[in-house]
């Protein structure tokens, strides 16, 4: 009886997550209906809260997959409640990615939940646990872009289209960055179980710095150009017009004013 109660408590959705979800729903409705004193502010709140929801789902996907892989400790750590405050590195997982969206407009990968690797048996399970997080971003991107590639935009307000386009852009950038095979990112976690012990030992000292190396490389013009060319190609493949993403990004930063051609 005590064990069952504990497990139920460990998997109960956190009020913190429900509050963020409520903000997303209310501000999403405000963007859709136009019932907002400032459309830009409504888009800012909607996209920011939706982005935090996606970060929570990203970490939940890691934890849930780890649970089924053999790490039964994730529940006691609060990872199954979708509570962003329960993460090992709340600053890296939530605060820093939100700041990067505000300042740079890209979906920065967050810090991962702590998985007890020794409890996971089998290389495929280790790889799947690492892949589960960015795959959650991929799924989120598909949902956001569905109205575009399904040609189902009739009746969808322009402001909401712009917000969805920018939110999808964040998910695509987050997924692509996370899947890079760089130590410290999920992409490296996917391939790490298949590397030899010697290679892993050589790479291990550099793992804490991989994340910052990637961020630094994005400031190199050639790398930045290649990265965003790839993102633009993926967005076009998903049917999202460049103008929609551009307007969504600019309306999100409402304090900078509305650029010409993005009036709603």
Which residues are the active-site residues?
59
SS3 content of the chain, % helix, strand, coil (to 5): 75, 0, 25
Q: CA angle, corner 25, sides to 24 and 30, nearest 5?
A: 95
Question: How far is residue 86's CA from residue 32's CA, in Å, rounded to a whole number?
Answer: 32
* Tokens at 54, concatenated: 């996606």
Q: How far is CA 116 from the centre of its chain?
A: 22
Cβ count within 10 A of residue 118:
8
Helix spans in 37-180 (H): 39-69, 90, 96-104, 123-149, 158-178
């Amino acid at each position: 009886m005590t064990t069952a109660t504990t497990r139920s408590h460990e998997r109960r959705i956190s009020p913190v997550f429900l509050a963020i979800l409520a903000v997303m729903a209310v501000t999403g409705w405000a963007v859709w209906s136009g019932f907002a004193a400032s459309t830009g502010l409504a888009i800012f709140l909607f996209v920011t809260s939706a982005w935090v929801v996606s970060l929570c789902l990203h970490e939940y996907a890691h934890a849930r997959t780890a649970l089924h892989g053999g790490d039964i400790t994730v529940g006691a750590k609060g990872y199954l409640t979708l509570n962003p405050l329960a993460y090992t590195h709340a600053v890296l997982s939530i605060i820093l990615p939100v700041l990067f969206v505000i300042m740079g407009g890209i979906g920065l990968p967050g810090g991962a939940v702590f998985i007890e690797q020794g409890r996971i048996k089998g290389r495929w399970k280790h790889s799947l646990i690492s892949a589960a997080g960015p795959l959650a971003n991929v799924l989120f991107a598909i949902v956001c872009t569905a109205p575009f590639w399904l040609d189902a935009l009739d009746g969808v307000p322009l402001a909401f289209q712009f917000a969805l386009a920018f939110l999808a852009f964040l998910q695509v950038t987050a997924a692509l960055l996370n899947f890079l095979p760089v130590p410290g990112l999920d992409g490296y976690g996917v391939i790490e179980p298949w590397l030899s012990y010697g290679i892993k030992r050589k790479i291990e000292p550099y793992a804490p710095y991989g994340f910052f190396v990637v961020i630094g490389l994005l400031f190199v013009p050639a790398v930045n150009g290649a990265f965003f060319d790839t993102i633009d190609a993926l967005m076009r493949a998903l049917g999202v017009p460049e103008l929609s993403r551009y307007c969504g990004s600019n309306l999100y930063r409402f304090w900078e004013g509305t650029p010409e051609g993005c009036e709603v």
